[in-house]
Structure 1
Amino acid sequence: MAVLKPKGPRSVALVGPYSSGKTTLLEAFLHICGEIDRKGNVNSGTSTGDSSKEARDRNMSVEVNAAHMTYLGDDFTILDCPGSIEFFQETENALRGVDAAIVVCEPDQNRVLTLSPILKLLEDYGLPTFVFVNKIDKAHGSVQELFNSLQSVTDRALVLRQVPILKDGIVTGYVDLASERAYVYKEGNASRIIDLPPEMAEEEGTSRFSMLEKLADFDDHLMEELLEDIEPEREEIYTLLQNDLSEGVVTPVFLGSADLDHGVRRLLKALRHEVPEAQVSAQRSGLSGNDTTAIAQVLKTYMSAQGGKLSLARIWSGKISDGDSFTTGRIGGLFRMQGSKIEKVTVATAGDIVAFGRLEDAHTGDILTTDEANHARPVSSLEPVYNYALFAEKREDDVKLSSALGKIVEEDPSLIAEHKQETQELLLWGQGEIHLKVALERLRNKYGLEIKSRKPKVAYKEAIRKSATQHARYKKQSGGHGQFGDVQIEIKPLPRGAGFNFEEKIVGGSVPRQYIPAVEHGVKEYLMEGPLGFPVVDVEVTLFDGQFHSVDSSENSFRSAARIAMSEGMPKCDPVLLEPIYKVEIAMPSEYTSKVNSIVSGRRGQILGFDARQGWDGWDLLVAMIPESEVQDLIVDLRSATLGVGTYRSEFDHLQELTGQNAEKVLQNRD
């Protein structure tokens, strides 16, 4: 049975850990396909991808880069995704609009665990996936051992498609297990076919049978052939490889070196013959339509200070022309992106990935249609784990800063800007220190804003341990009507979390009814900054007596008298500092659980318990109570201890008394 090659434009995402070589692989693709005259280099800043200043200053991807190529008549859009875990949101968004993904990794067993979050996401999406073991020319150790390590971090069945040919411990070529042909690498050129080395016959046979066994797990006919020692037809094997990939039940593993072009053409051939058509992906995503209904999905939003807004989108069905209108508005330009370069096009069809100009009401994740209401699919943003307090160097830039923050947050939904009322700070939340530094650089590079940042303040509070009564009088005479207010109050502690309560027990009109709200107002004013310098909580104040003057008393005089009473009475109530305690859920591979325990304990954390992380084999979930001051940079230690894959989510739980040296340090450092 002949294999039916997929047709139409298709898209593939390059994903993988930082420094695995995704952008270098993209350069190799584009050069082989004739899209560029010479390969660019990440370190020299000449690559098609990583074109932004922020990326080139760091020699790393910080956002999705799109590029187009044609290989043997088939059109592909490649989305090169950042490798750093701090920009994982970009990867999540891009994967919604592709037909397959290539996981690029290094031949290092010690770093295989870094693939775990990526492979888990691909499994959750049901996305057809290839693995490309890059830098095979620098490999050490057994490829089979590496393969076994890779299989340990994914639930999908891995299928090794090639075995390396070694000469003096160096990989010089490979044997294709599907075709049973041997090739020797030629740097910068296509590999040359050679006779299968006799010394590799046994290894090739064993590896090929292992591949067929994996495929037979999903096909009864192949299983019967293997049991009866019948050699399957080559076309049958290719058909199974194509179907099993499309159904997401197997993941083929290829070997090569993007820098030297080794194995890249073989990978391109696999993409051409095995990546499913856009229609298959649209059905998987629930977005299939018909030829008359145009459906597109926004995968990424780009903002520029001069060129306006570009919405990178996948066309799932129909045809879209420049000037057409979605329910969100009229397209202000249709473009194909090649890194930082954009090429104007007049029409896009199902399968294409193009950029729409100036669709101001379209946002990342939105489903755009031409004949019915727009379907917003809000992107589920990653939990923020790090933050800065921001302020503009120039006061006159405050309004401009708010506008610019709105734009960079639209570009990157994993950034969150908020004004924290408790500390009166503008906070920018993100996925780590590099993530936030890149955001600040964008504010400077795109919008000309010089922004300063600092560690955010902790929202400390204070409470009291004892009760006290206090009498206070406010009296002032300055000619004409004077001011007079006299109050007697009782200050009492409340249970933790009770907040504030004001009572009045005035008998005989010693304080007229119209002045009682002013007394409460004065008390609340004082409670904004108690004797330790922080807002006071969990306190009850009772007004039980006082005096007034028929001429000189006023709301202002009673408000002032209340403030005086509180300022004199509160220090008698044994004030105590309270610090916010957060409930934190930390997820990490089980082999690092003991390290994480030590980190939590070293941050004054109270461990509440452990559990297996649901849906993640070999991962643990630790629950602990940790002070807010210790959570702020927790992600730094956590990633350092877990090869960068550990993460956490947190939420405020309660306030807790802080005493001793820790309290003294807070009071000494108070602004």
Structure 2
Amino acid sequence: MSESTGALNIALVGPYTSGKTTLLESMLFVSGTIGRKGKVTDGNTVGDWSDEARARQSSVEVNAATFSYRDHLFTVLDCPGSIEFFAETANALMGVDLAVIHDIPHLLFTNRMDETAIRIAELIEAMQPVSDRPLVPCHVAIRDGDNVSGYVDLITGKAYEYRDQEGAVGVDAPETVSERREDARTQLLESLADFDDTLLESLLEDEIPKPEEIQAYLRGVLADASVVPVLMGSAERDWGHGDCRRAPHGATVGQIVKTYITQHGGKVSLARVWAGTIEDGMVLNDGQRIGGMYRMQGQQQNKIDKAGAGEIVGLGRLESIATGDTVAPADGPEIEPLPRAVLPSSVYAYAVRASRREDEVKVSGAMSRLAQEDPSLSFAPNPDTQEAVLWGQGEMHLKVALDRLAGKYGLAMRTEKPKVAYKEAIRKPVAQHARFKKQTGGHGQFGDVHIEVKPLPRGSGFEFQGKVVGGSVPRQYIPAVEAGVREFLTSGPLGFPVVDVSVTLTDGKHHSVDSSEMAFKTAGRMAMAEALPKCNPVLLEPIYEVKISVPSEFTPNVQRLVTGRRAQVLGYRAREDWSGWDEITSQMPQAEMHDLIIELRSITLGVGTFESQFYRLQELTGRLADDVLAAAKEDD
């Protein structure tokens, strides 16, 4: 690999079958990194090297490849095309300089303004013929001769001077820029007015909109990908991007954009170096020592000793550092954490268990390693249903995870649809007496209780009171009665946990010799077993609040989908900051949500998604309740 004079990191982003992996293969071939181009269909490309990707002929995780071309170092991150693996793309985009992407809102950042005498207007004029959207300048350069010393923001009208280590500092705009500022501002407003009648009317009436109004107009047309804003600055000198990626002067800082768990090499963290130099053996963060540095080329790792600002490299054995984490030398200055990618909410789940009983102890550790590689996966027990549940972004997402479990860790898993966390409650109060008496050799067992059972308002939970007077049930035995009551409530007359119930111990009897905590616990459980069937028990099903986001053209179809799943539509509104999108809010039974994402994506060309959270428990009666109870008995 030739000596590099600069590093550029590129993400390949696009839908499934758009040819991203083939494009990466072509880049590697043209640069001379590989001597023969592979094909996705033949399973011999540098990207898509995992068994799961080759079996599907589709990317299922980010693949990194570094190569040199014309004395520049390039690292390309090939991102999966399926929406189910979007979290991989979101994390990758934290570390790149640009994305090769198609037909979505974007902007141009004119870099190295400190090194060029070319005017922004000349640049826009040269580039406009190759863009199918208007290029709209948002900045006007302030020049000192041929050198750029700052800029004027055309939206706010404010001027800024570039200063090393300080970024852009507010100043008064010089008179020399006034004419160019007004011409550029007029061009900006006229370009926006082509897509907004309200703004056009204001301009025709010589009304100059306020800065916040211009921002709103620009946000709207940018969301529709109608125009391409043009910004300016110098990435090398931190000009024109004042986010928290700016490290203290002289500091070293990086960020993890992907984690791989290799079968033989252990954990490798793909890191973007934002400032300074990271070296093999360096101790990072809380004492994590780098155990190897690599330039990645698919599954091949080429060992290196150090990497400078702008490079993406693999760091070995950072066991406690996760994707998204900011890394810096342990003995360096304190670094403010860099922004993390916002991961999508989980929308699909399987209840899973090991096919072989002897493998059960291995499952938790293997699932933890899977989640390190893919943070959009989660695995946790459901205490309500006593199942272990694997959550992810869709059916294919989870099947890839399960294939990886089997192939990499030798763990075959059985899957089934997760159970619904049904509960039961009571409708009427009952008073009940129960006595537990058992006589064997030696001491016997005796406990006698009187309880009152009453329903509570929905969502109240469980309450227990001891109102015994005169010592008929000694104080030390009252907690045992409560324990027996609670034990029975884990599975009521209908077979589900009982909620929203009040139990009061009102009276009882004890024996000075034969009474014990165990006897009164048993008596409390017996009293509940006799009382609850008389309390008119009713089945409760969990209802979730579901917020579905889709392009507006699909809103009517989604409303029909929702109502067809026994949901109550609460309304819909335009999604904030998403032009042309709606957000539909409904209350939907959990029993109807398992495959919701599959049908939702089917009717929205794959782009619809949702978020959900538990809302309340609601009575379920009639045939649906009978079906649930019958299924529960079969499971028993």
Place the TM-score, normalised by the shorter chain, in its bin.
0.7 to 0.9
Asked if residue 407 in structure 1 is aligned to residue 328 in structure 2, the reply is no
**Aligned-partner residue type, residue 280 of structure 2:** D
Q: Matched residue of 2:135: which SS?
A: helix
Query: Who is 2:323 aligned against?
Result: 364
TM-score by length of 2: 0.79
Shift of 1:426: 1.4
8 Å contact kept, 1:99–1:281: no
Q: Matched residue of 1:524: which SS?
A: helix
- Distance change >3 Å, CA 394–CA 572, structure 1 → 2: same
8 Å contact kept, 2:53–2:59: yes
**Aligned-partner residue type, residue 389 of structure 1:** A
Query: Who is 1:73 aligned against?
Result: 71
Query: Who is 2:452 aligned against?
Result: 490
Q: Matched residue of 1:63: which SS?
A: coil
8 Å contact kept, 1:282–1:316: no
Query: Who is 2:135 aligned against?
Result: 214
Q: Matched residue of 2:401: which SS?
A: helix
Structure 1 counterpart of 2:347, from 385, 393, 396: 385
Distance 2:499 2:110 in 1: 55
Structure 2 counterpart of 1:465, from 421, 424, 427: 427
Structure 1 counterpart of 2:256, from 267, 292, 298: 298
Q: Matched residue of 1:351: which SS?
A: coil
**Aligned-partner residue type, residue 258 of structure 2:** K
Query: Who is 1:43 aligned against?
Result: 41
8 Å contact kept, 1:101–1:127: no
Q: Matched residue of 1:34: which SS?
A: coil
- Distance change >3 Å, CA 278–CA 367, structure 1 → 2: farther
Distance 2:248 2:527 in 1: 75
8 Å contact kept, 2:248–2:333: no
Relative to structure 2, which stretch is displaced further, 546-555 or 659-668? 546-555
8 Å contact kept, 1:16–1:103: yes
Distance 1:603 1:656 in 2: 15
Q: Matched residue of 1:492: which SS?
A: strand
Shift of 1:622: 0.7
Asked if residue 560 in structure 1 is aligned to residue 522 in structure 2, the reply is yes
Shift of 1:567: 0.8
- Distance change >3 Å, CA 572–CA 7, structure 1 → 2: same
Query: Who is 2:381 aligned against?
Result: 419
Q: Matched residue of 2:518: which SS?
A: helix
8 Å contact kept, 1:101–1:128: no
Shift of 1:345: 1.3
Distance 1:669 1:27 in 2: 53
- Distance change >3 Å, CA 213–CA 368, structure 1 → 2: closer
Distance 2:252 2:260 in 1: 22
Distance 1:592 1:430 in 2: 24
Count of residues in Structure 1 that have an aligned counterpart in Structure 2: 537
- Distance change >3 Å, CA 7–CA 224, structure 1 → 2: farther
- Distance change >3 Å, CA 546–CA 552, structure 1 → 2: same
Aligned counterparts, 1:492-531, within 5 A: 492-531=454-493
TM-score by length of 1: 0.75
**Aligned-partner residue type, residue 539 of structure 2:** L
Shift of 1:218: 6.7
Shift of 1:375: 5.2
Shift of 1:285: 4.6
8 Å contact kept, 2:355–2:414: yes
Distance 2:222 2:481 in 1: 73
8 Å contact kept, 1:100–1:276: no
Relative to structure 2, which stretch is displaced further, 630-639 or 277-286? 277-286
- Distance change >3 Å, CA 497–CA 212, structure 1 → 2: closer
Aligned counterparts, 1:11-26, within 5 A: 11-26=9-24
- Distance change >3 Å, CA 459–CA 213, structure 1 → 2: closer
Asked if residue 91 in structure 1 is aligned to residue 89 in structure 2, the reply is yes
Distance 1:457 1:281 in 2: 54
Relative to structure 2, which stretch is displaced further, 324-333 or 301-310? 324-333
Distance 1:281 1:97 in 2: 18
**Aligned-partner residue type, residue 502 of structure 1:** F
8 Å contact kept, 1:364–1:379: no
- Distance change >3 Å, CA 283–CA 310, structure 1 → 2: farther
Aligned counterparts, 1:180-579, within 5 A: 208=129, 214=135, 283=241, 285-289=243-247, 292-328=250-286, 329-370=288-329, 371-373=332-334, 376=337, 379-579=341-541
Q: Percent identity?
A: 52
Deviation digits for residues 4-40 of structure 1 (CA, Å, limit 9, x no counterpart): xx96111110001111111111112222222222221
Distance 1:64 1:282 in 2: 29
Query: Who is 1:245 aligned against?
Result: none
**Aligned-partner residue type, residue 68 of structure 1:** T
8 Å contact kept, 2:234–2:240: no
- Distance change >3 Å, CA 66–CA 44, structure 1 → 2: same
Distance 2:130 2:21 in 1: 34
Relative to structure 2, which stretch is displaced further, 362-371 or 642-651? 362-371
Distance 1:62 1:434 in 2: 9
